[in-house]
Amino acid sequence: MIDLIPAGLVHADLLGGMHRICFAEPWNPKSMAEVLALAGTEGLIAVDGKSLAPATEPPGPAGLILWRRIFDEAEILTIAVLPPWRRRGVGARLLDAAMENAARAGALTMFLEAAADNEAALALYESRKFNRVGLRKGYYGAIDGVTMSCRLDETSVSS
């Protein structure tokens, strides 16, 4: 069972470590703390203690998401799912929760960016009604960045 807990400054080391596992150019703990300290920034950590960990161990992390809301717009800053948890619904659960929280806080539109070669991420975002609105050539080195947006006031995330 996956639970979502709010991410705070106290989690900067954990978030940086998770990011390092998931990305070639990760954010370090200091970067995580700086982002979390920005006005309008929120985050969630997906944790599980039953499926992979023995009952005697504390819940372990499965994924994270950070987003920022400014007025009626929100942006996913980063989303990551640790390898053992990929393709098990963790990313969808994190994204849905971020969309719901941002909408509840007054955001009408949410933006994000993904590497053009990250087919799993693009499929997830498109399943949540994100539309491709731009392309940033070479944004991730040799890989283009796909910019996407979704109208939160027109989208039901419980699909």
The residues annotated as belonging to the active site are 113, 125
The single residue listed with the structure tokens 């007054």 is: 106
Say if residue 39 is exposed, middle or buried (CB neighbours under 10 Å; 0-12, 13-18, 19+).
exposed
The dihedral region occupied by 138, where left means phi > 0, alpha psi between -120 and 50, and beta the remainder, is left
Beta strands 109-115 and 73-81 are parallel
